[in-house]
Amino acid sequence: MYPIISPSILSADFGHLQRDCEMLNQSAADWFHIDIMDGVFVPNLSFGFPVLKSIQAVAQKPLDVHLMIVDPDRYLETFQQHGAWQISVHYEACPHLHRTIQKIKSLGVKAGVALNPHSPVSLLKDIIADLDLVILMSVNPGFGGQKFIEHTYAKTSELKDLIVKQAANCLIEIDGGVNGPNASRLIAAGADALVAGNFVFSSPNPTATIAELKNIR
Ligand code: DX5
Ligand code: ZN
């Protein structure tokens, strides 16, 4: 099985956003990873609805939206209206996670949960059966281009075990510091989808780099 590749728009050139989106359309990428940061849940701001609207107008692949914001319930409907195909919220930002997940699903959108590096996989035991996706953060969220946290391999295996044990229909996505050298080990540990920002967009040939990731088994 080939991994799902979800390049992160955060590392694109926002002065040439249309060009970079068209490059992704033509590439082996499966999804567009959309990082939304509010400057409260994470120490950085990324972009909001006007930029997302421009992406939506060009993107020909599903929008994989990763919300690094507090109280995401306020905006779920608006993200759906802006073309979100999948929305992931952070475990650490949702006191009523079950309700939030049901709300995402009621909008006809796939529902995911992202886990920060310090949050154990066991926290998902009572919600995993309701999820389409778990994002394991392999960096502390907030910035592209950070160093991959090695403990993610063990967490990926542990999450895979939990999914198999409950016969859940849930994919595992790894987000942060993913590159050629660590991708194969992540896939071997059970990862289904890989986010890549810096590795793709700082490459001299992003299309070839996406193809390289796609062909890793
Ligand atoms: C981190 C974001 C990531 C990030 C990935 O807060 O959620 O999606 O953009 O970028 P790289 O691959 O550069 O770590
Ligand atoms: Zn992300």
pTM of the complete model = 0.98
How far apart are the CA of 209 and the centre of ligand 2, in A? 18
Residue 90 clears pLDDT 90, i.e. is over it? yes
The number of the ligand nearest the C-alpha atom of 44 reads 1
Domain ranges of the chain: 4-214
Q: What digits encode the pLDDT tens for the residues 153-181?
A: 999 999 999 999 999 999 999 999 999 99
- Distance (Å, whole) CA 29 – CA 9: 12
* Average pLDDT of the residues in 27-45: 98
Does residue 117 have its Cβ closer than 6 Å to ligand 1? no
CA distance 148 to 179: 9
Catalytic residue, chosen from 20, 35, 130, 192, is: 35
Residues 29, 209: Cα–Cα separation, whole Å:
10
**What span, in angstroms and rounded, lies between the C-alpha atoms of 10 and 215?**
23
Q: Is the predicted pLDDT of residue 34 greater than 90, yes or no?
A: yes
| Model confidence at 89: pLDDT above 90 | yes
pLDDT for the residue 217: 81
Banded model confidence at residue 216, pLDDT cuts 50, 70, 90: very high
Confidence of residue 194 (pLDDT cuts 50, 70, 90): very high
Query: Is 118 exposed, middle or buried (CB count within 10 Å of its CB: 0-12, 13-18, 19+)?
Result: exposed
> Which whole number is the average pLDDT over 176-199?
98
Q: Listing from the earlier edge strand, what are the strands of the sheet with 110-115?
A: 4-7, 193-196, 171-175, 133-137, 110-115, 84-90, 63-68, 32-37
Architecture field, domain 4-214: Alpha-Beta Barrel (3.20)
What pLDDT is stored for residue 1 in this prediction?
81
